[in-house]
Structure 1
Amino acid sequence: MYAENFQLDSYLKRIDYKGPLGKNAEILKQLMRAQLFHVAFENLDVQAGKIVSLVPEQIVDKIVGQGRGGYCYEVNGLFAMALQALGFSYKFVACRPMFYPVRRPKTHMVLLVEADGDQWICDLGFGSYGIRAPIALSSLEQIQQQDFDQFRLTTEPSGAYVVQALVDGQWLSQFGFEPYASEWVDFMPANYLNSTHPDTIFVQKLLVIKHHEQGRDILLGDQLKQIRAEGTVVKQLSPEQREETLKQLLK
């Protein structure tokens, strides 16, 4: 993934990363968490009636230049640019969201990144139960403790991989995939659907999610959900409170 205006130094400043640089799994984890904690998942463009741009240079300008966030293609695309600049090998993988009551098309995207002799799932744009660190493909059926969240990687009878999250004591499937590479252009139809279809959550409501060390904050419409290790607090916001919350989440 390449953009003419991508500069590694500017990206590292945007995500406030001051750690070592290299191509190992620990650095991959540190980079993913730094971006996750500093770049919000948000759908403001969709709410404004725009189709989200997948032009790499426009993604860089939006997230690095303007200090905005983005949804899965944008934030994972930006991460791919950083990985390429650092010399990591990776591929884009199309994923099927699995938390809906009916089977849905593959409208999500993650990265599979090579490091330390393994392939690692990296995803900075799934939402409320998104992973908070890379997960190795070799870690099947092993519980992944990530801060106070727990995840695991399992498989379907078809052989497809499935990432699950432990939610209220139950393992719930979040997304599934086959580990085959897709081209960036392959995500354009799904991006158009996510940007325009009335059944998508992105079209229906404002959605902003900000992960941080203590947990995550989710603004959905005029409701703010604050998830922490000790529990979840839900607040109904006035229009003024929503605007102020939005500013804070996009910092």
Structure 2
Amino acid sequence: MYAENFQLESYLKRIGYTGPLELSADTLTKLMRAQLFSVAFENLDVQAGKIVSLVPEQIVDKIIGQGRGGYCYEVNGLFAMALQALGFHYKFIACRPMFYPVRRPKTHMIVLVEADGEQWICDLGFGSYGIRAPIALSSLEQIQQQDFDQFRLTTEQSGAYVVQALVDGHWLSQFGFEPYESEWVDFMPANYLNSTHPDTIFVQKLLVIKHHEQGRDILLGDQLKQIRADGTEVQQLSPQQREDILKQLLS
């Protein structure tokens, strides 16, 4: 993933990262978490009636230049630019969201990265139950404790991998995939659907999610949900409160 205006130094400054840069799983984990905790998942462009741009240079300008966030193609695309600049080998993978009541097309995207002789699932743009650190493709059925969340990787009868999250004591499937590479251009139809189709959450409501080490804050419409290890608080917001919270989450 290449953009003419991408500069590794500016990216590292944007995510506040000053750690190691060697090609290791440890670096991969620290980079992913630094970006996840610095760059919000957000759909402001869709709410403004725009089709999200997949032009790499515009992604860089939006997230690094303007200090904005983005949804999966944008935040994972930016992460891939950093991986390429550092020399990691990776591929884009099309994924099927599985938390809907009906079967959906493959409208999500992750990055599968090679490090320390393993392939690692990296994802910075899934939303509320998104993973918080890379998961090794070899770690089938092993519980992944990530901060106060738990995830696991399992498989379907078809052989497809499925990432699940432990939610209220139950393992719920989040997305599934086969580990076959997709080109960047392959995501354009799915991006158009996510930007325009009335059934998508991105079109229906404002959605901003900011992860941090203590939990995550989710702004959905005029409702703020603050999720922590010891519980969840939900607050209905006035228009002014929503604007104030939006600024905080994007800062």
In the alignment, which residue of structure 1 is the partner of 2:120? Answer: 120
Aligned-partner residue type, residue 30 of structure 1:
K
The code of the aligned residue for 2:96 comes to: R
How far apart are the structure 2 equivalents of 1:197 and 1:23?
Answer: 39
CA distance in 2, matches of 1:221, 1:70: 16
Which residue identity does 2:47 align to in structure 1?
Answer: Q
**1-structure distance, mates of 2:121, 2:20:** 21
SS of corresponding position for 2:181: coil
Give the secondary structure class of the aligned counterpart of 1:17.
coil
Match of 1:75 in 2: 75
Equivalent residue, structure 1, for 2:166 = 166
For structure 2, which runs of at least 5 residues remain unmatched after alignment? none
1:88 and 2:88 correspond: yes
Looking at structure 2, the residues matched to 24 and 112 of structure 1 have their Cα atoms a distance apart, in angstroms, of 14
Who is 1:111 aligned against? 111
CA–CA separation in structure 1 for the residues paired with 2:153 and 2:232: 25
Q: Which residue of 1 aligns with 2:229?
A: 229
Q: Distance in 1 between matches of 2:232 and 2:167?
A: 12
TM-score w.r.t. structure 2 length? 1.00
- Counterpart position of 1:214: 214
The list of structure 1 runs, each at least 4 consecutive aligned residues, that deviate by more than 6 angstroms after superposition, is none
Which residue in 2 is equivalent to 1:197? 197
Tell me the equivalent position of 1:23: 23
CA offsets 1:12-43 (integer angstroms, 9 cap, x no match): 00000010111100000000000000000000
Report how many residues are paired.
251
Corresponding residue number in structure 1 for 2:58: 58
Query: What pairs with 1:9-20 in structure 2 (closer than 5 Å)?
Result: 9-20=9-20
Other-structure match for 1:149: 149
Q: Distance in 2 between matches of 1:179 and 1:21?
A: 26
For residues 168-187 of structure 1, what are the structure 2 equivalents within 5 Å?
A: 168-187=168-187
Cα drift, residue 105 of structure 1: 0.1
**Letter of the 1:127 counterpart:** G
Structure 1 distance, partners of 2:194, 2:63, is: 19
1:34 paired residue number: 34
1:38 aligned counterpart, secondary structure: coil
RMSD, aligned α-carbons: 0.2
Could you report, residue by residue, the CA deviation over 1:40-82 in whole angstroms, capped at 9, with x for unpaired residues? Answer: 0000000000000000000000000000000000000000000
CA distance in 1, matches of 2:20, 2:152: 28
1: distance between equivalents of 2:250 and 2:155? 35
Q: Deviations over 1:205-231 (max 9, x none)?
A: 000000001100000000000000000
Q: Partners of 1:209 and 1:23 in 2: how far apart? A: 29
Amino acid at match of 1:31: L
Other structure's SS at 1:224 match:
strand
Task: Quote the sequence identity (%).
Answer: 89
**Residues 113-157 of structure 1: CA deviation (Å, up to 9, x unaligned):** 000000000000000000000000000000000000000000000
Structure 1: 5+ residue runs without aligned partners? none
Which AA in structure 2 matches 1:138? S
Distance 1:26 1:223 in 2: 36
Distance 2:38 2:202 in 1: 21
SS of equivalent to 2:244 = helix
TM-score norm. by structure 1 comes to: 1.00
